[in-house]
Amino acid sequence: MARKVRKVVLPVAGLGTRFLPATKAVPKELLPVVDRPLVQYAVDEAVEAGIEQIIFVTGRGKAAIEDYFDKAYELEDQLHTKNKTSEIESIASSRHLAGNVTFTRQQEPAGLGHAVWCARHLVGNEPFAVMLPDELLHDTPGCLAQMVDAFERTNGNIVAVLDVPREHTNRYGILDPGTRDGQLIETKGMIEKPQPAEAPSTLALVGRYVLLPEIFGLLENQTRGAGNEIQLTDAMARMIGTHPFHGYHFEGIRYDCGDKVGFLEANVAFALRRDDLKDRFGEVLDKYLAD
Ligand code: G1P
């Protein structure tokens, strides 16, 4: 029987330079999509997937993320005093049992593989998930819940993938696919940010992983790859052949919130899904589209 996936690692040390000046003083993971910080969507997706422990790999200037996941005692007291029940409910998902949200720091920007390795002691010897909160994935059930379900069947590594235009392969980790069984794609290899002509497919890694703890030993001695960084993709590629490895074809909607247009699209899409906003916001959009 597959061991339960109880922990998620969220690498949030990146500087967010694409969103300057907003990210000069606010971590990009706290930028709101409608009225919830981006990182809250990832945490909700993790909780839905049965994850119990949330491990953040942060860096300098990211302390606001710790505050966000803490109890805001004075705020809550004020809201209670004023009977603001819906506001109290709105902050409930940022509150977790003490000890279930932990933070460690990546002391240098040495790449995603290095960020995940920084969490090795907090994860220990058990399978775990990795989520990149920039990638906002919308589906029911959520992408990670689907992947955990797939993990329970395959008992091996799973990475979420989706099709991208061939001219974009150099932005992503790209899968070398074998046989496909429904949404599961046997994985023969993977390569980080290949040029379109060298890409083995157009199936891109999209920021959701369920990994066996053996990855930490490989990350330990992983040499630098694309962008002169320690790449998670390179360490994962070295696991193929020794441990089961599958791509999981995500069939929901993806918003690339690391990109300005993707972030704006997510705001429009999530606002239009909200009963309290869709009519008024729809009218506003119509006004702009008519011009
Ligand atoms: C990272 C990963 C890459 C993945 C991408 C998804 O790249 O290294 O494999 O496809 O996230 O967003 P980054 O965007 O950090 O350069």
Tens of pLDDT along 72-84? Answer: 889 989 999 999 9
The pLDDT mean for the chain works out to 95
- Confirm or reject: Cβ of 156 under 6 Å from ligand 1: no
Residues 6+ positions from 15 with CB-CB distance below 8 Å: 23, 61, 109
Is 229 domain-assigned?
yes
Residue 16, pLDDT score: 86
Residue 205, pLDDT score: 98
Residue 157 has pLDDT above 70, yes or no: yes
pLDDT in tens, 129-139: 999 999 999 99
Candidate from 80-89, 101-110, 276-285 with smallest mean pLDDT: 80-89
Residue 149 has pLDDT above 70, yes or no: yes
Residue 248, pLDDT score: 98
- Confirm or reject: Cβ of 229 under 6 Å from ligand 1: no
Segments forming the whole domain that contains residue 130: 7-258
Residue 155, pLDDT score: 93
Gap from CA of 73 to ligand 1 centroid (Å): 37
Higher pLDDT, 116 or 98: 116
Is 154 domain-assigned?
yes
- Confirm or reject: Cβ of 148 under 6 Å from ligand 1: no
Gap from CA of 128 to ligand 1 centroid (Å): 18
Is 263 domain-assigned?
no
Q: Residues 174-192, buried b or exposed e (16+ Cβ, 10 A)?
A: bbbbeeeeebbbbbbbbbb
Is 74 domain-assigned?
yes
Residue 2, pLDDT score: 74
pLDDT in tens, 166-199: 999 999 999 999 999 999 999 999 999 999 999 9
Residue 95 pLDDT class (50, 70, 90 cuts): confident
Given a contact cutoff of 8 angstroms between Cβ atoms, the answer to whether 181 and 187 are in contact is: no
Residue 217, pLDDT score: 97
Pocket perturbation via mutation, ligand 1, pick of 205, 232, 255 by most ligand atoms within 8 A of CB: 205
Is 273 domain-assigned?
no
**Atom 9 (ligand 1) nearest CA:** 173
Is 55 domain-assigned?
yes
pLDDT in tens, 221-242: 999 999 999 999 999 999 999 9
Residue 71 has pLDDT above 70, yes or no: yes
Q: Taking the model in full, what pTM does it have?
A: 0.96
Residue 263, pLDDT score: 98
Pocket perturbation via mutation, ligand 1, pick of 17, 57, 117, 132 by most ligand atoms within 8 A of CB: 132
Ligand 1 atom with minimal separation from the 227 CA: 16
Residues 268-285: what's their mean pLDDT?
Answer: 96
Give helix 260-272 / helix 278-290 axis angle, nearest 10°.
Answer: 130
Gap from CA of 113 to ligand 1 centroid (Å): 10
- The CATH number for 179's domain is 3.90.550.10
Q: Residues 83-119, buried b or exposed e (16+ Cβ, 10 A)?
A: eeeeeeeeeeebebeeeebebbebeeebbbbbbbbbb
Number of domains in the chain: 1
Ligand 1 atom with minimal separation from the 112 CA: 8
Residue 9, pLDDT score: 98
Runs of H (alpha helix) within the chain: 38-48, 63-68, 73-81, 85-92, 112-117, 120-123, 143-154, 215-220, 232-237, 260-272, 278-290
Residues 214-227: what's their mean pLDDT?
Answer: 96
Residue 1, pLDDT score: 67
Is 33 domain-assigned?
yes
Residues 17-29: what's their mean pLDDT?
Answer: 95
Residues 101-128: what's their mean pLDDT?
Answer: 97
- Confirm or reject: Cβ of 257 under 6 Å from ligand 1: no
DSSP β-bridge partners for residue 11: 57
Is 1 domain-assigned?
no
Residue 99, pLDDT score: 85
Residues 6+ positions from 252 with CB-CB distance below 8 Å: 137, 138, 139, 140, 143
**Atom 11 (ligand 1) nearest CA:** 207
Angle at 124 (CA atoms; ends 70, 186), nearest 5 degrees: 105
